[in-house]
Amino acid sequence: MEYTQLGRTGLKVSRLVLGTMNFGPQTDEAGSHALMDAALDAGINFFDTANVYGFGENKGRTESIIGNWFAKGGERRDKVVLATKVYANMALDDSPVWPNHDKLSAVNIRRAVEASLKRLRTDYIDLYQFHHIDRSTPFEELWQAVDVLVQQGKILYVGSSNFPGYKIAQANEAADRRGLLGLVSEQCLYNLSERRAEMEVIPAAQDYGLGVIPWSPLHGGLLGGVLKKAAEGGRRASGRAADTLADPAVRAQVQAYEDLLDKHGLEPGETALAWLLARPGVTGPIVGPRTAGQLESALRAVELKLSEDVLTGLDEIFPGPGPSPEAFAW
């Protein structure tokens, strides 16, 4: 495994981030524990979750699964850089949301941290991430709440998720006025097929020293060899990938992608991850394996170095927006 610093911090994290969103909804507790053990054995020390994972009537279940794994001992907690998130309400489906039980008010941040710590069975969170911007809460209030929690030792670093570039700037300027470290990472949708983050989010993250943590690196399976698998009678596209493939132009694009990689003897999923690992500013993509085989495939991507011919071909198939601000200025 390779490691890098998280943004401008001294925190050293693995180039792959273990995503846990499937823990509970798709992978049972025993299987989730086995995947976390395998990830740790492979050198992955960066685990990502969120307070709402588990979803529906099981919100918080994923954090509880991780907490039970920590409770097994074996220095599991000490070896893991633990990241979780706050924003969405924790009310069960069809239940009314009580005032101040969601978003980023100081009241809800304090409540959410305490609840996550209890479920995770730990006394601190390494990276506490804001899952979305809160248009109603000023950053001065947010940073005051964070400052208290840092002083209490309950959180160590703060990151954002799904923030636009200008909000990253606003957040860190407000933190600087208080003498605080501010945001150290941004978790955003970024992959070969979805490169809009290159226009402003990634430039802002680089200028302010945030590590970039891409989520959905295979774009819901679209970049994982979906057409070849379907042709061979394997798993067919579903969800976001199926919706996207309904566009004939996108389908042709994905076919060209798979043809290019077949020509070079490369696996689509591993190539999509390797491409992200080579992008400027990227700390590491989030991988959410459901099986040991999927984890092994992701691990191979860390060692995969793409040739200039392949990189050029990928840019031709999935052209990015170009440098900012020229991409939208003229």
Q: Which residues are catalytic?
A: 53
Q: Are 199 and 327 in contact (CB under 8 A)?
A: yes
DSSP character string of 186-224: EEEE-SSS--GGGTTHHHHHHHTTPEEEEE-TTTTTTTS
- Token digits of residue 262: 């077949």
Please state the separation of Cα 317 from the chain's center in Å.
24
Q: Are 4 and 15 in contact (CB under 8 A)?
A: yes
End-to-end CA distance of the chain: 42
- Token digits of residue 37: 């053990």
Integer angstrom CA distances of residue 309 from 31, 45, 96, 261: 39, 32, 54, 11
